[in-house]
Amino acid sequence: MKNTTLPTLPKFKSAAGSNFSRELRANVESYFRKADISKFANGALKFKAILLLVSFFGAFALILFSGWSTWLIWSLCIFLGFVKAGIGMGLMHDANHGSFSKNRLVNKIFGYTADFLGVSSSNWINQHNKLHHTYTNIYEHDEDVNGKGLFRFTKDAPRKKMHRFQHIYWTFFYGFLTMGWFFADISAYSKYRKKGLNKKQGVYKAIEVGTIIFFKLVYISYMFVLPYLVLDFAFWQVIIGIFTLEFVAGTILSVIFQMAHVVDKFDLSNHDKFDGTTKDEWTVHQIHNTFDFAVKNKLLTWYCGGLNFQVIHHLFPTISHAHYPKLYEIVKETARKHGINYQEFKTFREAFISHLVFLKKLGSSQFA
């Protein structure tokens, strides 16, 4: 019989009496109080949300009704991949953290953009909000560092011979991220229930499962059936268009996510097998296991929903990313005052190269 025993939940050092955690939160609260502004989305972010949605549906309408050539339609599929990733990072992400609006219903509605785009928002909240944000970079608890055997993202994961090539084959497999989510949602839902992350019973459980299935059918209907019926394209051409869209979105999301946590600046000599108890309080653990990158790049910040301010996001996930640039200096200065190393890369290129170097290092026998 398969062993279904779940790993013991990690324990963080108590933050009781922590001057750093208390001062950090006080400083952030003071900023919002003095500025007299909301912690939620501002006008610029709301405009971005509208622009992203209009761009997605507008480009999709062009695919269906423009009569353009096959190559132009394919270029629109690439564009849709960029927009889908942008919606995920800049709208869905905030909404499912409850930081887009103070109105829970508004957050719920925009959180469903994940479902409309083929990914269960319920599973996302369990995997991302509850696991990744709580147990960041802790193997067997944070699924973002679980390479499922194909990748080795942490020293705690077992090494396979093929991992020595992972710094090369990422270029192909990262693109399957959103497709993997689409096909794994039902099994993932069952897994999270076994972990106790979702305890709904009876009719509420049926509604949640029904919602996942309903949106899968919606996605298949508008993304495959509708183009196949409207366009003079063969079955395989429609499939190529969908694959292109999803591959572009998957690659972008994978790279952005990994550059904040799986990078070569980690000191592997101090990253031994996790023994169940961290030496840090939760706030410090987040800073030690997270990196900002290219925070001066306004275009990147706009597109990736502030995920380049990853340290800020992990410390204050219920605050909209519209405020991250202002909070950056506050958090960085507070950390410096308490002797805590705030980790960041100055450029996107620097972070990206560090990720590839780290993949190569973890794939070598030296770190078996």
Q: What is the pLDDT of residue 204?
A: 83
Q: What is the pLDDT of residue 198?
A: 82
pLDDT tens-digit map of 40-72:
999 999 999 999 999 999 999 999 999 999 999
DSSP bridge pairs for 246: none
Query: Nearest to residue 52, comparing CAs of 110, 121, 133, 5?
Result: 110
Q: What is the pLDDT of residue 116?
A: 97
Label each residue of the chain as H, E or C. Answer: CCCCCCCCCCEEECCCCCHHHHHHHHHHHHHHHHHCCCCCCCHHHHHHHHHHHHHHHHHHHHHHHCCCCHHHHHHHHHHHHHHHHHHHHHHHHHHHHCCCCCCHHHHHHHHCHHHHCCCCHHHHHHHHHHHHCCCCCCCCCCHHHCCECCECCCCCCCCCHHHHHHHHHHHHHHHHHHHHHHHHHHHHHHHHHHCCCCCCCHHHHHHHHHHHHHHHHHHHHHHHHHHHHHCCCCHHHHHHHHHHHHHHHHHHHHHHHHCCCCCCCCCHHHCCCCCCEEEEEHHHHHHHCCCEECCCCHHHHHHCCCCCCHHHHHHCCCCCHHHHHHHHHHHHHHHHHCCCCCCEECCHHHHHHHHHHHHHHHHCHHHC
244: number of Cβ within 10 Å: 18
271 has a pLDDT exceeding 50: no
Decide if 198 contacts 126 (C-beta within 8 A): yes
270 has a pLDDT exceeding 50: no
Q: How many residues does the chain have?
A: 368
242: which residues sit within 8 A by CB, 6+ positions away? 77, 223, 224
Nearest-5° Cα angle at 86, 227 to 131: 110
Report CA Rg, the chain.
21
Decide if 252 contacts 344 (C-beta within 8 A): no
Question: Which tokens is 266 given?
Answer: 């980690």
39 has a pLDDT exceeding 50: yes
The region that residue 144 occupies, defined by phi over 0 for left and psi between -120 and 50 for alpha, beta otherwise, is alpha
The whole-angstrom separation of Cα 108 and Cα 92 is 9
Q: Are strands 277-281 and 11-13 parallel, antiparallel or unpaired?
A: parallel
Cβ-count burial of 226 within 10 angstroms (0-12 exposed, 13-18 middle, 19+ buried)?
middle
Burial state string for 185-220 with b = 16 or more CB within 10 A and e = fewer than 16: beebbebbbeeebbeeeeeeeeebbeebeebbeebe
pLDDT tens-digit map of 96-133:
999 999 999 999 999 999 999 999 999 999 999 999 99
The whole-angstrom separation of Cα 53 and Cα 222 is 15
Helix 19-35, helix 324-337: angle, nearest 10 = 150
Decide if 17 contacts 298 (C-beta within 8 A): no
pLDDT tens-digit map of 275-309:
556 678 999 999 999 999 999 999 999 999 999 99
Average pLDDT over residues 183-199: 91
| Band of pLDDT at residue 14, cut at 50, 70 and 90 | confident
At residue 111, what are phi and psi to the nearest 5 degrees?
A: -65, -30
At residue 292, what are phi and psi to the nearest 5 degrees?
A: -85, 160
Q: What is the pLDDT of residue 232?
A: 94
Decide if 297 contacts 348 (C-beta within 8 A): yes
The whole-angstrom separation of Cα 164 and Cα 216 is 36
pLDDT tens-digit map of 208-265:
999 999 999 999 999 999 999 999 999 999 999 999 999 999 999 999 999 999 999 8
Decide if 15 contacts 283 (C-beta within 8 A): yes
